[in-house]
Every structure is written in C-alpha cells, then in structure tokens.
Amino acid sequence: MTMTDDTTPDFAEADVLVVGSGVAGCAAALSAAREGAEVLVVTKAERPEQTTSHWAQGGVATTRSDPEAFERDIIEASADTADPEAVDTLVSDAREAVEDVLVETLDVPFDRAEDGDGGNGGDGSDFDYTREAAHSEPRILHVNASTGKHVLGPFLNHLDDHERVTVRADTAALDLITHEGRVHGAIVEQDGERESVFAGATVLATGGIGALYRNSTNPETATGDGIAMAALAGADVEDMAYIQFHPTAYAGEDPFLVSEAVRGEGALLRNAEDERFMPDYHEEAELGPRDVVARAVADERERTGGVYLDVSPLDFESEFPDLAEKCEERGVDWESGIPVEPSEHFLCGGISVDDRGRTDLDRLFAVGECARTGVHGANRLASTSLLEGLVWGLRAGESAAGFDPERVEAPDLLDRDPDLPAGFAREKFVRLRRVMDENVGLRRTPEGLQRATAVLRRLKGEVDAYTRTRTSRSLYELRNASVVALLVARQAMEADPVGCHALEDVTSDEGDADEVPANASD
C-alpha cells in the first residue's frame, strides 16, 4: 500500500520487508509468505545477473547418506573455526530445504547421472552429484557449471506469481528506519524518488562485498549495503577479516570464474614452467581448501610468471559446455590450458545472526553472504553458500512473519547542497579498491593493514561529510563500501591469522615476506 498527501512523504507498508533478491532473499520471502505474511522484496538489481547468486557456478552441496562426513568437511575446511552448532543446523536442514524448494517447488533442472547411481552415493536418486575441493565425497547438485542462474531465475519467477509477494526491482535501500533499538523498515530509492517502507520485520539479504576489489567473481552491485546499514544502526558485525579468494578466475580481459567442479572432475593446475605444483602445497593437491590453493596459485604466478588450468584429463567441452563457450568467446584455447588467477569471491563474516537469522537489533534479520552465521568460520567449504542462503533464508522468513508494521519517524535524508560531479563516486571507488587490493587482499601484512586503516578512515570521513547534505544511490553505495572496507581492515588487524586471513612478516633481514603461522596468536 502506498499513500500520499500534501504533508506526508510517500510511504509503503509490508509485514516483511526483504532487501535483496538472491537465493537467500528469495527463500526468506517465500518462507514468510507461506506463513501468511505480506512480503515486499526490494532489490537494486534490474536483472537476475546483477545478483551474486546468479553468478554461482559450482552448485548446491547437500546432505546425502553421511551427514557426519559433511559436517566434518565443513569444519576442516574452516581450519576448525566454524561454529559446530551452526554447521549442524545447516547439515540437518539441507536435504529437506533442497528437496522442498529447489526440487519440488522450483523444479530446478539439476544434471542427472547417466547410469542412475547419483555419483555412487547409494541414496536412491539419479542426480549427478559432483565433488569439489575439500569435500570427501560427491554431494554437489549442479546444472552444468551455471547452477546459480538456473536456481535464481525460477525462484524469481515463482515469487512474481505469488499472491503475497511483491518484488520491486531497481530499488535501493538507503538507510534503516530505527526507533529505540527496533528496526521498523527502510528508506528506499527508485528513479531518484525516496520512500519510507515500514515493516513488521526487515530481512537483509544484500550479498557480499566484491565491489571493494578490482578483481571479483561478484557483480559490481556487491557494495556491502546491508552490512553497512546494519553496522551504522548498531548491529554486531563479526569475522570481516575472513574474505575468500577463489583460486581459479580467468586471468584476462572480461574475467569469469572457472568452477571448482572442473578441478573436482580432474583438471590440474600448472605453472608457466608446465609443472604441476599443488602436491607440494597440500596432500589433497588441487582439491585442497580454497585458501591454500589460492595462495599457492598466487605464489606460482609470482615465481614463474603464470598459472593455467590443464583440462586435458577430462572431456571439458562435453562436461562444461558453458565454460567452454566462455573460453571461445574470449579467444582462449582451452585445450592448451586456461590462464587463471585468484579473485575475491566470498565474505565469510558479516552481520552476526543466530540460527534463525536474527541480529541483535529487534526485528532485524540477515541472511546469505551479508550474514555471519558461523557456518564458514575462517574459510568456506565449496558450494555451501547457496545452501546456507536457502536454509537460513527459510528459517529467517518463518521467524520474521507475524509482526505488524508500525509507523515511526524516519531519518531525514537531506538534499540541500548541489549534486556532486557525475564521476565523484567512481573516482573514490578507484581509490578504495586500490587500497583494498594492495593492503587487504589475498596477502596481508600488519604494516599494510595499518596503512589501509588510516587511508580508509580518511576516505570514510570525506564521504560522511557529503552524505550529511546530499542523498543519492551512488553516494550511499560509496558510503556503504567505505564503512565495510574500514570494518574489514580494522578487524583484520585483530583477527587470528588463519584460513582466508593470511598475515605475512615483512621484517626479516632479507626483506622477504614470511607467512605468520596460523597459531601465531596462541
């Protein structure tokens, strides 16, 4: 419902407001609607491909015949830092969530095994389960190497047809509406017009922070909006130091992710000297944890001048036609190997939530990559992100239903100064990304983190000065990115150097960088 009069600004009401339209946001919307709530989904995305979920390649890990092995794999991949209770929640809910939503409701066309044995799992299904790094068995459902788009498209179509769900695209949330520790909705913007949306409960599902880095497997819309809004409202934010870099993004113009499933099917990593190097770095070689493989790829690129993925051990074109097509579009002769490099991929931390997606602010929930559930700890196991978004989205949506919206005084976002130059936000983003790439990327040093914190603090101060008197989507995205970047740098200075967060000591006599052991803080 939208109302307008001469004295009251536009406003809308919903039982549940969901900010974001990836798998986690869609799951929350579906679950809340099933509970009878009227749901409004607002999303910056104009098309599905502007969401992080759409870009997911590998697939959806799920529980098969050995849930304990699944839990063990998640915890081991996290360098034993994952929350066991959160992991148990994920694994316990996995099968039912996947079957209910992805198979029965959405009829996602997951690949089927030709021999009908479901990857030798003995679970009675004919799904073609595949295996990825750090998984002890094949348990990943997939659609070629483009699973995300085959999940998200049907999900959005289903919500479009749902009588209790309204989806508003190209609509950005600028600020949360809070009063006395409770969140009452958000101020949103569409086509330059602002509107207050009052909701009984608000679910943040805004994705990750890929836009903070020059190279990322995520869309440019991933500016950390939900994390920044929640942090500015007083919500607890944890584990921001743990940012996962994917080992195998195409190293060239118009980069794309080369799914971990390719290595799961037998592809090998070789350096510029044609040496297979991963056995020297980890006993599982190419199927070691992502943080280990990513740093090994970076080391070998620096040492030899390049790394490529050798796909000759498999029938690449037949097994991964989508990836073969992307190679051909870029003129890459995949038969001679695909040049790869690490690229920012996933934030393991975020807004701290419980097993229902509840934050420490009343009636504010967070799900998906913007949330810190504890499942991933310091390093995420491959193909658990879509599953986590689905499981926590369903749980949060169910818990968010049942509250009535209440109108309170919304923040006054001012527009009293002239508009900023068209390239202002873009130029500031270039500066922010340079700082993050150089000091808060795959490799970090204590000195670099200190430098980054100082620069980012000044940048945030500059942006804050502008947002006091001006309001625009690009300016607020820049504000959000600067808030999140500073959170990452500050927390990285204090976090244990384990998993994704590797610290190097650059004070040795020779000036070489020596990695600080993971137990250096013990």
SS3 labels along 77-103: HCCCCCCHHHHHHHHHHHHHHHHHHHH
**CATH number of the domain where residue 263 is located:** 3.90.700.10
Rounded (to 5) percent helix, strand, coil in the chain: 40, 20, 40
Predicted confidence at residue 123, as pLDDT, reads 56
Average pLDDT, the chain: 89
Q: Are residues 163 and 60 in the same domain?
A: yes
Tell me the pLDDT band of 117, cut-offs 50, 70 and 90.
low
Better-scored residue on pLDDT, 40 or 419: 40
Q: Are residues 361 and 233 in the same domain?
A: yes
Q: Are residues 222 and 265 in the same domain?
A: no
In a domain, 20, yes or no: yes
**Cα–Cα distance measured from residue 472 to residue 416, given in angstroms and rounded to the nearest whole number:** 12
In a domain, 9, yes or no: yes
Q: Are residues 50 and 67 in the same domain?
A: yes
Enclosing H/E stretch for 439: helix 424-439
Q: Are residues 151 and 99 in the same domain?
A: yes
Q: Which two tokens stand for residue 55?
A: 């870009």
Q: Are residues 59 and 193 in the same domain?
A: yes
Q: Please say which residue of 343, 367, 385 terminates a domain.
A: 343
**Cα–Cα distance measured from residue 36 to residue 401, given in angstroms and rounded to the nearest whole number:** 7
In a domain, 415, yes or no: no
Per residue in 48-74, pLDDT (tens digit) is 555 555 445 568 999 998 999 999 999
Of 294, 308, 338, nearest to 442 by C-alpha is: 294
Average pLDDT over residues 414-428: 81
**Cα–Cα distance measured from residue 407 to residue 317, given in angstroms and rounded to the nearest whole number:** 56
Catalytic machinery residues: 290
Domain boundaries, position 301: 247-343
Per residue in 364-411, pLDDT (tens digit) is 999 999 999 999 999 999 899 999 999 999 999 999 999 999 999 998
Share of the chain above pLDDT 90, in %: 74
In a domain, 147, yes or no: yes
pLDDT over 60 at 509, yes or no: no
> Dmax over Cα atoms in the chain, in whole Å?
72
Q: Are residues 163 and 103 in the same domain?
A: yes
Of 59, 66, 58, 56, nearest to 137 by C-alpha is: 66
Q: Are residues 94 and 51 in the same domain?
A: yes
Predicted confidence at residue 469, as pLDDT, reads 87
Q: Please say which residue of 343, 369, 392 terminates a domain.
A: 343
Average pLDDT over residues 117-135: 72
Predicted confidence at residue 516, as pLDDT, reads 39
Q: Are residues 153 and 272 in the same domain?
A: no
Better-scored residue on pLDDT, 337 or 150: 337
Q: Are residues 67 and 200 in the same domain?
A: yes
Determine how β-strand 11-19 pairs with β-strand 2-3.
antiparallel
**Amino acid identity, position 459:** L
Could you give phi then psi for residue 246, rounded to 5 degrees?
Answer: -75, 135
In a domain, 410, yes or no: no
Three-state SS at 491: helix
pLDDT over 80 at 517, yes or no: no
**CATH number of the domain where residue 212 is located:** 3.50.50.60
Cβ–Cβ < 8 Å for 255, 339: no
Q: Which two tokens stand for residue 129?
A: 């389960």
Per residue in 77-92, pLDDT (tens digit) is 999 999 999 999 999 9
In a domain, 126, yes or no: no
Q: Are residues 207 and 93 in the same domain?
A: yes
Average pLDDT over residues 27-38: 98
**CATH number of the domain where residue 450 is located:** 1.20.58.100
Tell me the pLDDT band of 131, cut-offs 50, 70 and 90.
confident
Q: Rounded to 10 degrees, what is the CA torsion of 241, 243, 247, 252?
A: -110
Cβ–Cβ < 8 Å for 389, 263: no
Residue with tokens 């384990």: 498
Structural domains counted in the chain: 3
**Amino acid identity, position 33:** A
In a domain, 359, yes or no: yes
Predicted confidence at residue 107, as pLDDT, reads 94
Q: Are residues 373 and 450 in the same domain?
A: no
Tell me the pLDDT band of 289, cut-offs 50, 70 and 90.
confident
How far the first Cα of the chain sits from its last, in Å, is 56
Among 287-291, 365-369, 416-420, 468-472, the minimum mean pLDDT is found in 416-420
pLDDT over 50 at 120, yes or no: no
**Cα–Cα distance measured from residue 268 to residue 472, given in angstroms and rounded to the nearest whole number:** 47
Cβ–Cβ < 8 Å for 32, 25: no
Whole-Å CA distances, 304 to 257, 272, 287, 296, 337: 22, 5, 22, 12, 16
DSSP labels, 307-370: EEEE-TTS-HHHH-HHHHHHHHHTT--GGG-EEEEEEEEEES-EEE--TT-B-SSBTEEE-GGG
Q: Please say which residue of 314, 343, 372 terminates a domain.
A: 343
pLDDT over 60 at 212, yes or no: yes
Predicted confidence at residue 417, as pLDDT, reads 75
In a domain, 518, yes or no: no
**Amino acid identity, position 522:** D
Average pLDDT over residues 238-251: 96
Q: Which two tokens stand for residue 100?
A: 């209910």
Of 342, 345, 350, nearest to 484 by C-alpha is: 350
